[in-house]
Structure 1
Amino acid sequence: MGFERLTSILQNKMSNYDTDVFLPIFDAIQLETGARPYSGKVGPDDTDNVDMAYRVVADHIRTLSFAIADGSRPGNDGREYVLRRILRRAVRYGREVLKAKEGFFNRLVSVVVKVMGDVFPELKQQEVHIRNVIKEEEESFGRTLIKGIEKFKNAVQHVQNGQLSGEATFVLWDTYGFPIDLTKLMAEEQGLTVDEDGYNRALEAARERSRSAQSTQAGGAIVMDADATSALHRRGIAPTDDSFKYVWFKDHESVVKAIYTGSEFVESVETDGDIGVVLESTSFYAEQGGQIFDTGSLEGPHASFKVHNVQVFGGFVLHIGSYGTGISVGDKVVCKVDYGRRSLIAPNHTCTHMLNFALREVLGDHVDQKGSIVLPEKLRFDFSHGKPVDPDNLRKIESIVNEQIRAELDVNAKEVTLAEAKRINGLRAVFGEVYPDPVRVVSVGEKVEDLLADPENKKWLSISSELCGGTHISNTREAKAFALLSEEGIAKGIRRITAVTTDRASDAMRAADEFEQLVDNAAKLEGSSLEEKVLYLKSNVETLSIPAAKKAEIKNKIVQLQDRVRKAQKQIAEENKRKAVMITAEKAELAASSGKTFCVSQVEVGLDVNAVREAVTKVMEQKGISVMVFSTDKSTNKAVVCAGVPEKGDRGKLDVTEWLTNALEPLKGRCGKGKGGLATGQGTDASHVSEAMDLAASFASMKLT
């Protein structure tokens, strides 16, 4: 009967929702929303839909809490899209029917934990995580809900024959995240129907556009569709035996069973272009489970076929390559795998497992694998986590993997039944992945036989054990080192780590140490030397391929150096202002004592425009006379000049812009239009500063006499 139905019988209630499984949640909903109390009405009796809204919100907050505690979360595909749909449905009912305020839904997690947490301890353990995930999704939907409802209202105004068009329904889903069932509910409330056939056509058209884009991106690689694999079955060809892929450094003999051009099967190869070869058995690893394919060659009696891609379709391993002229169906061939390349891939795959383990150790049990790619040059791992991983945790994650490498742990693999594997405590699998039976278990540091002998041992929680069909190293020492290069968000609630192993990891660590030494050396510099070095360090640190945690540490050091530069620049600026004002004030005193109503001064503050302007402004205010101040920079042969004419003094006789423009002619400079009695300009030939100052003095003397 299920728990809720059994409860309704024991408590003599006509509905599951009338039991104490739901009533505490209803009380919490009323407290959050201020709606009328739940009265248990259904159908036509529930005229305001309030009781329906209570049931929707309560049922959906339970579903989401349990699903997120089990490692899932709202998203765009599959089961995750189902969760997103029910969350949005609950939020809409709460906001529109119960008149709840924004953010009400995630606050209901606590009552679910209170009601169910004793029986399901994972709810208590994950309470903060559950609430954060729901809060993030609720806020996101809140931003689109208002726009979507407005769009829906606009679409309703253009309805003909009482039916909302399929195109409008698709736009509501594609742009505003309204699933069709939500739109149908909104339409029903308006007495309308939805053109579901039109919606499906628009949806299929969008999918076709997506498929076409993917096909173009794939570059036309050979693919065997269902018709092709069915043709192989009809010809009595058995799926490829690829168990030999786990054997290293050994050539494997096999027989050509089929040759595929991408459109048809042929008996022999008559072109140097790409074709696909199906063998009876193979030692090549076909791309799957995130691991890249093997490359190499097939050596036949009359030809050598270069294999540059290996894919599997319906159990048939397709060796895709070129220069196969002379290979025919029935030929005996030797599989020659490029084991040097595979030796670069295997450490990355084993370290992906150790990374998966380290992420759960550091971040928590909510971390779930969302995808991975294992290449010769790097590994990439996608996982569920709601926020960026801080540098301290990145350092811990990287350290755990390196500790396992230094511990020189044996990597063990064994094929077992799926039922046996699932009993192993702490065994990792990709949630939602369909695994064959039997499956292959890969464990780091413990024999698979020991795991199977005592599957519930809590000791297994402290090791990496996963279901995996990939190729691995035999001991962690072969990975040499692990460097976590980057951590970033790629989708809502999904983070991505990129890392390297072996010599690439050692190179990354060495590059980090060398660059950090440059930063530490820069700390010993002063003045312009420090300023130049900091600019170089800041512009280059982002391009470095070094461990992310170390990069964050180095960037912090650079920030501290930037602070030093800013403080030094501020001190220099203050000193320049003080010096410029003092020298110009002295010049103004001399000018005033000789009966002049203007002052032309030169100060040594380089191209510090602020200091020059400060000198002009202060002295003009203090002395009430017209002032022009020059300053030059020998290294660039440039000059800055500022002029000021007081409002109550000479402004009617001496125009500040005209005065400065004349003075700048020998300096090959120009100025903007003066404002408020002040004008500033620059010259590109400071060697004529004396001539410019004489010209400024004679021009002012002429105008003011």
Structure 2
Amino acid sequence: MKSQDIRKQFLQFFQDRGHLIVPSAPIVTKDDPTLMFNNSGMAQFKEFFLGNGTPKSKRIADTQKCLRVSGKHNDLEDVGFDTYHHTMFEMLGNWSFGDYFKKEAINWAWELLTETYKIPKDILYVTVFEGSPEENVPFDQEAYDIWKGLIAEDRILLGNKKDNFWEMGDQGPCGPCSEIHVDIRSAEEKALVPGKDLINNDHPQVVEIWNNVFMEFNRKADKSLEKLPAQHVDTGMGFERLCMVLQGVQSNYDTDVFTPLIQKIESITGTKYNSKAANAEEEKVNIAIRVIADHVRAVAFAIADGQLPSNGGAGYVIRRILRRAIRYGFTFLNTKEPFINELVAVLAAQMGDFFPEIKSQQSLVTNVIREEEASFLRTLDQGLILLNDLMISHTEQLSKQKLEIAGDYIFKLYDTFGFPEDLTALILKENGFTYDKEGFDAELKKQKERSRGANEVAKGDWVILTEGNTETFVGYDQLENEVKITRYRKVDSAKDGVLYQIVLDATPFYPEGGGQVGDRGVLKSINESIEILDTKKENNLIIHTTTELPENVAGSFTATVNAKVRQDSESNHSATHLLHQALRSILGTHVEQKGSLVNANYLRFDFSHYAKVTDEELQQVEDFVNARIQEHLPLIERRNIPFKQAVEEGAMALFGEKYGDSVRAIKFGNSMELCGGTHVKNTADIWFFKIISEGAVAAGIRRIEAITNDAVKNHFAAQEKALDEIKSALKNPQDTLKAVVSLQDENARLKKQLEQLLRDKAKNLKGELAAELQEINGVQFLAKQVDLDATGAKDLAYELGNLGTNLFIVLATAEAGKPMLTCYVSKELVAAKGLNAGQVVRELGKYIQGGGGGQPFFATAGGKNEAGIPEALAKAADFLR
């Protein structure tokens, strides 16, 4: 069976049994601060398990794109080395929200596997929860009895809490689970070791394919369990593993989920994938190909869902995955040019029918990956140079018996330059070096602890004051409302100390979302006023953060939004919609929003575009937006309209956003977008729109930053003040521009004259310094501080270099208190004596608290410690001794 048919059959099976089929949520989470990525099929349904929302149907089925590369579920380092772990994978699942329970879930799972997919019963095993006395949770007799009617008892195994009790996280819904495992080994292998002895033992052909979780409990902050008011079913089946079983192969990578990618990698790199490697070298190639085939899926779908590689958060994780793939190609497939981007076309052809985002975003994804590849390959080249210099310097300093490099050196290469530790270790080994692994690990641990400590948050249990899902948002229509607190909890944050989070029954506070920051304001009663620091959304709850709780949490309060901050944010948010329309009108309809930030001070808008936006185009964009402002366009808002209808009427939907069946559409003139944020009532309220900057964020992604309203007024006032100060400095000329141009022309003339004087000075110095050359070990040597600028020192070095073919010269300058070292080595000495100007300035640069580099025969280093020049010059001769 082809993978596309396997997926379709699963969904059809559950649709026939009353399940609503829903699309996969984006791989990158938006409204769940506890997760960077969707790491399981149930992630998009957390609000229903928590009781914070009502599902569209009590029975749902889907296939969810999942990513397990961070936090509790992190499979990254296993990927490639075995054949069944992945970064991105599909999770087939069926769900019951307070409807059917164990009987139906187990029977349907067995029917689908053995009757629809026709998997032989004699290769299947199942597990049930053995119970946990310390948790006061009994053996799952009900699941055991159901399975007894379907499978021989010797194939029903008992599982412990680690394997057969599933938890959403440290807190939240959880319950016992029943897993289905498959043994696809040969008859000979089965005769040697029974399959039941290999369950949950990481055997590549004895693997779990389906987990049926029975949500019965809620894990509290004190780790105790309480019964949920309703019982739910949460199942997940690994799509790739199911394909392996049904296609009769021994590895996920031998299925048609991966073979098209592997074949393309083979074609590009001229290598061969052999699932049964004959030796260690072939296995290294296999691992590299598996890593690349797996990782490109994760990276491509994350980018298509709106997450660009970056230096922080989820973007850093995506960059790390891609760099791991590049590194394996670089080291084991000998690829020195970008090639992973070429695999995106294979993915689009293979998966685009079911996941249309990879097809529609194919060009963007390809460009971003290509640019990331090129950038990291440059980093690898730079790292190789630094590593080579490191080995050269340590060869001189360390004894021949123990060429071990300190761990902090290796960590600096990793942390500062992004050079992978394992690649460093490989190169060191090839050159007869080792490194202090424990020292490296200690530095890495310190870094992780710093990061973890800054972000650590401990959340208490919700204290429920009002039962039921009663919370609403009224902030579109009012900035003040009479409210009551429905629940609250305490939060201990390593960064911010003790905070409290509260939920209101009818809040006017807008929660952060769609790029717009959360509202701030106050919560007042007769006796007290409490500041609301921020508002966010978590699993469908609008959560308000405060530094204290009211004395009487059950009392009545007035919730008041900071009107000025909200209005300024609205002005910037509405301007982003007009900006989006302007860019599509002026640059082309290929422009799509790729991210935004809207706060009270400014707006930031990221969009897809293949080139720098010219000054003329930026002016056209600015004029377009301001024309819409001058037209005084009223806000036309439509709430709770069907998603399909809104799109058919022209509303723009953003890739990577999760939309419900009913949506809110915002329209100003011809600009119509789906949006949950708050907006001005009329474009006139924006007053004026001014672009502050435009630049690149990633390949094919540009960013515009702009301001509106009071920020523009302040900007114009600051510009006027600066102009007045310029006029005053120029003695108030009648024509300021003409005076500035005249000043620039005069400066250019004087600069040319100065450069000529310095060149003449350098020529005059040549004769004086030639007499100061001294011979050390057959080399003509000079180390001297000269009263020149950097250009003059370079000219002087080359002038002296014309005197012979065995010169080693180090000149120091300190123009305006900025020390600079210039090194010249005759090219003949580079080979004959092993002298390297780049190595010289990197070493001597330490004395002036700086560094630099260049070519073997000429290099420079800048620093900040002028007092270190004499010592640097004194040490220069050591390179000849």
TM-score, with structure 2 as normaliser = 0.43
Task: Quote the Cα distance in structure 2 between the aligned partners of 1:54 and 1:321.
Answer: 50
Matches within 5 A, 1:62-77: 63=297, 72-76=307-311
**Letter of the aligned partner of 1:246 in structure 2?**
Y
Does 2:59 align with 1:59?
A: no
Q: Do 2:485 and 2:503's aligned partners in 1 also have CA atoms closer than 8 Å?
A: yes
**In the aligned structure 1, how far is the partner of 2:462 from the partner of 2:344?**
57
Bigger radius of gyration among the two = 1
Work out the CA distance in 1 between the residues paired with 2:488 and 2:308.
44
Q: Are residues 1:399 and 2:623 paired?
A: yes
Tell me how far 1:482 sits from its aligned partner: 1.0
Aligned pair partner of 2:694 in 471, 475, 487: 487
Tell me, yes or no, if structure 1 residue 369 matches structure 2 residue 580: no
Pairing 1:344–2:577 present? no
Change (3 A) 1:311 1:237: farther
Residue 459 of structure 2 aligns with which residue? Answer: 226
CA distance in 2, matches of 1:114, 1:330: 55
Larger displacement relative to structure 2 (492-501 or 471-480) = 492-501
> How do 1:403-482 and structure 2 match up within 5 A?
403-407=627-631, 408=633, 410-415=635-640, 427-429=652-654, 431=656, 435=658, 437=660, 440-445=663-668, 463-468=671-676, 470-482=677-689
Equivalents in 2 of 1:359, 1:515: separation in Å?
31
Query: Amino acid of the residue matched to residue 516 of structure 2?
Result: Q
Structure 1 residues 41 and 399 mapped into 2: Cα distance closer, same or farther (>3 Å)?
Answer: same
Cα distance in 2 between the residues matched to 1:239 and 1:199: 51
Worse-matched range after superposition: 413-422 or 88-97: 413-422
> Which of 461, 483, 497 is the aligned partner of 1:254?
483
1:332 equivalent in structure 2: 556
Q: Assess, with a 3 A threshold, how the Cα gap between structure 1 residues 396 and 137 changes in structure 2: closer, same or farther.
A: farther
Is 1:137 the counterpart of 2:361 in the alignment?
Answer: no
Letter of the 1:291 partner, please give it: Q
Alignment of 1:202-601 (within 5 A): 205-210=446-451, 212-213=453-454, 226-227=459-460, 230-233=461-464, 235-236=465-466, 241-248=471-478, 251-255=480-484, 279-300=504-525, 302-303=526-527, 305=529, 307=531, 309-312=533-536, 315=541, 317-318=543-544, 320=546, 328-359=552-583, 362=587, 365=590, 369-375=594-600, 377-381=601-605, 389-407=613-631, 408=633, 410-415=635-640, 427-429=652-654, 431=656, 435=658, 437=660, 440-445=663-668, 463-468=671-676, 470-487=677-694, 496-505=703-712, 508=715, 564-566=745-747, 569=749
Q: Give how far 1:483 is off.
A: 0.9
Residue 449 of structure 1 is matched in structure 2 by none
Q: Please give the per-residue CA displacement for 1:45-84, whole angstroms capped at 9, x wherever unaligned.
A: 5745585388459737964667656655433456645543
The amino acid that maps onto 2:667 is: V
User: For each residue in 1:562-606, what CA deviation from the matched residue of structure 2 results, as whole angstroms up to 9, or x when unmatched?
Assistant: 654457x57x999xxxxxxxxxxxxxxxxxxxxxxxxxxxxxxxx
2:659 and 2:643 mapped to 1: Cα distance?
A: 8
In structure 2, the CA distance between the partners of 1:563 and 1:135, relative to structure 1 (3 Å rule), is farther
Give 3-state SS (helix, strand or coil) of 1:318's partner: strand
Q: CA deviation at 1:378?
A: 2.6
Equivalent residues in 2 for 1:617-628, closer than 5 Å: none
> What one-letter code is carried by the residue in structure 2 that aligns with 1:253?
E
- Kindly tell me: are residues 138 and 299 of structure 1, through their superposed partners in 2, closer, same or farther at Cα, counting changes over 3 Å? closer
Identity %: 23
CA deviation map 1:599-647 (0-9, x unaligned): xxxxxxxx9x98xx99xx9xxxxxxxxxxxxxxxxxxxxxxxxxxxxxx
* Paired position in structure 2 for 1:103: 337
- Any conservation in 2 of the 1:534–1:562 contact (CA below 8 Å)? no
Contact residue 694 and residue 705 of structure 2 kept, 8 A: yes
What is the deviation of 1:253?
2.0
Distance 2:746 2:553 in 1: 73
Report deviation, 1:202. 6.6
Deviation at 1:252, TM superposition (A): 2.1
CA contact 2:515–2:598 (8 Å) conserved in 1:
yes
Deviations 1:437-462 (A, max 9, x none): 5665342237xxxxxxxxxxxxxxx7
CA distance in 2, matches of 1:248, 1:150: 65
**Structure 1 Cα separation of the partners of residues 512 and 349 of structure 2:** 47
More strand by share: 2
Residues 326 and 373 in structure 2, CA contact (< 8 A), matched pair in contact too: no
- Judged with a 3 Å threshold, the aligned counterparts in structure 2 of structure 1 residues 284 and 240 are, in CA distance, closer, same or farther, namely farther
Q: Is the 8 A contact 1:530 1:565 kept in 2?
A: no
Distance 1:114 1:316 in 2: 37
AA aligned to 2:371 is: V
Amino acid in the other structure paired with 1:133: E
The answer on whether the counterparts of 2:605 and 2:704 sit within 8 Å (CA) in structure 1 is: yes
Higher helix share: 1
Confirm or deny: 8 A CA contact 1:411 1:472 kept in the other structure: no
Going from structure 1 to structure 2, the CA distance change for 1:240 and 1:132 (only over 3 Å counts) comes to same
Is 1:61–1:105's contact at 8 Å kept on the other side of the alignment?
A: no
State whether residues 405 and 477 of structure 1, in contact with CA within 8 Å, keep that contact through their aligned partners in structure 2.
yes
Partner of 2:266: 26
Seen in structure 2, the aligned counterparts of structure 1 residues 414 and 423 have a Cα distance that, compared at 3 Å, is: same
Aligned AA for 1:26? E
What are the Cα deviations for residues 350-399 of structure 1, in whole angstroms up to 9, with x where unaligned?
22333345456638757553451411x33334567798654334334433
Where do 5+ consecutive residues of structure 2 fail to align? 5-239, 400-404, 765-881
Q: CA RMSD in A?
A: 6.3
Structure 1 counterpart of 2:384:
146
Deviation for aligned residue 1:152: 12
Deviation at 1:232, TM superposition (A): 1.3
Q: How many residues align?
A: 492
Helix, strand or coil for the counterpart of 2:310? Answer: coil
In 1, the alpha carbon distance for the partners of 2:369 and 2:279 equals: 34
1:168 positional shift: 9.4
CA contact (8 A) 1:411 1:475 kept: no
Alignment partners' CA distance in 2, 1:127 and 1:288: 24
Q: TM-score w.r.t. structure 1 length?
A: 0.51
Match of 2:277 among 11, 23, 43: 43
Q: Deviation string for 1:223-248 (max 9, x for gaps)?
A: 9x531xx2413x55667734121223
**SS of the residue aligned with 2:529?**
strand
For residues 47 and 354 of structure 1, do their structure 2 counterparts lie closer, same or farther at Cα, with a shift above 3 Å needed? same
Deviation at 1:484, TM superposition (A): 1.4
Tell me if structure 2 keeps the 8 A contact 1:28–1:111: no
Supply the distance in 2 between the matched residues of 1:51 and 1:385 (Cα, whole angstroms): 37
